[in-house]
């Protein structure tokens, strides 16, 4: 692999930016300053460093983000802050993207990765990966609503896959529920609740497959997803 490609892939900057770093003599290969961006390197074998610090090659990155309300699940947006704006410059890479979308006002677990294959697997309705949400609802969710969730609800002429509605608490005019879906249609939770004649006032995703939102992870923060967690997510 070419040295400039390696440096761009470890996230040091764009191809153009890393060429500048090489020119300035800030990159060494096996303890020797290297000034040619065309230098061929072997990522597994050569020791490549930026300002004396060894760079480690990694193909895929996985982060679990606690999305706050007010940011959009996109990689770029001309108006709003995106989930990638929450990343530090050290962790940011231009190939990272969120796995699926949460609405701007929805909080909770969002997986951010550059692994397109895993994202596809997790989002495919055929794979039935569970997504669990906690919702506050204006109105009282009932046993009849639970039955409708199981049977499937027509949204724009398409029936939802069987879903679970767990009623945690109700007052005279509100409810706290958990909803487990096996797919991710546009505004699905809000629309399913609306189809029951009630309204979601707060929504948070708390689980995706085996990956749970850690209670200690502060809103707006993220952490690396471990290799074990990725393995169990893949099933």
Phi-psi region of 187 (alpha: psi -120 to 50; beta: other; left: phi over 0): left
Residues 233/211, Cβ–Cβ less than 8 Å: yes
Q: CA 35, 38, 39 angle in degrees (round to 5)?
A: 70
Q: Which ranges of the chain would DSSP assign to H, the alpha helix?
A: 3-9, 15-23, 116-123, 143-151, 188-195, 227-234
DSSP state of 86: G
Please work out the total of residues on this chain that contact ligand URA, with binding judged by CB under 6 A. Answer: 8
What is the closest distance, in whole angstroms, from the C-beta atom of residue 145 to ligand URA in the complex? Answer: 16
Beta strands in 68-190 (DSSP E): 97-98, 107-113, 131-138, 154-155, 158-159, 164-170, 174-181
Stretch that binds ligand URA, among 74-82, 116-124, 153-161, 188-196 (CB under 6 A): 188-196
Residues 138/174, Cβ–Cβ less than 8 Å: yes
Which of 187, 194, 207, 234 contacts ligand URA by CB under 6 A?
A: 187
Q: Reply yes or no on whether 85 is catalytic.
A: no
Stretch that binds ligand URA, among 20-28, 55-63, 85-93, 186-194 (CB under 6 A): 186-194
Comparing CB distances to ligand URA, the nearer of 83 and 102 is 102
What is the closest distance, in whole angstroms, from the C-beta atom of residue 213 to ligand URA in the complex? Answer: 13
Which of 3, 163, 188, 196 contacts ligand URA by CB under 6 A?
A: 188
Q: Decide: is 190 part of the binding site for ligand URA (CB under 6 A).
A: yes
Task: Give the whole-angstrom CA distance, residue 125 versus residue 185.
Answer: 10
Q: Decide: is 103 part of the binding site for ligand URA (CB under 6 A).
A: yes
Q: Decide: is 106 part of the binding site for ligand URA (CB under 6 A).
A: yes
What is the closest distance, in whole angstroms, from the C-beta atom of residue 48 to ligand URA in the complex? Answer: 41
Comparing CB distances to ligand URA, the nearer of 136 and 187 is 187
Contacting positions for ligand URA (CB under 6 A): 102-103, 106, 187-190, 203
Q: Return the active site residues.
A: 103
């Amino acid at each position: 692999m070419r040295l400039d490609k390696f440096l761009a892939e470890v996230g040091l900057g764009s191809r153009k930016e890393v060429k500048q770093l090489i020119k300035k003599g800030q990159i060494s290969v096996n303890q020797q300053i290297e000034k040619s961006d065309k230098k061929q390197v072997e990522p597994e074998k050569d020791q490549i460093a930026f300002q004396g610090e060894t760079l480690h090659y990694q193909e895929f990155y996985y982060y679990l983000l606690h999305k706050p309300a007010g940011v959009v699940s996109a990689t770029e947006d001309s108006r709003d802050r995106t989930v990638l704006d929450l990343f530090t410059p050290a962790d940011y890479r231009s190939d990272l993207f969120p796995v699926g979308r949460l609405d701007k006002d929805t909080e909770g677990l969002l997986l951010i990765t550059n692994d397109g294959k895993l994202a596809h697997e997790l989002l495919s309705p055929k794979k039935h990966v569970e997504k669990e949400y906690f919702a506050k609802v204006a109105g009282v969710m009932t046993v009849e609503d639970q039955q409708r969730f199981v049977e499937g609800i027509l949204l724009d002429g398409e029936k939802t896959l069987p879903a679970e509605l767990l009623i945690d608490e109700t007052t005279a005019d509100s409810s706290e529920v958990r909803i487990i879906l096996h797919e991710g249609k546009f505004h699905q939770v809000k629309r399913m609740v609306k189809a029951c004649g009630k309204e979601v006032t707060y929504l948070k995703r708390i689980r995706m497959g085996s990956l749970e939102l850690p209670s200690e992870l502060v809103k707006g923060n993220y952490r690396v997803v471990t290799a074990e967690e990725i393995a169990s997510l893949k099933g």
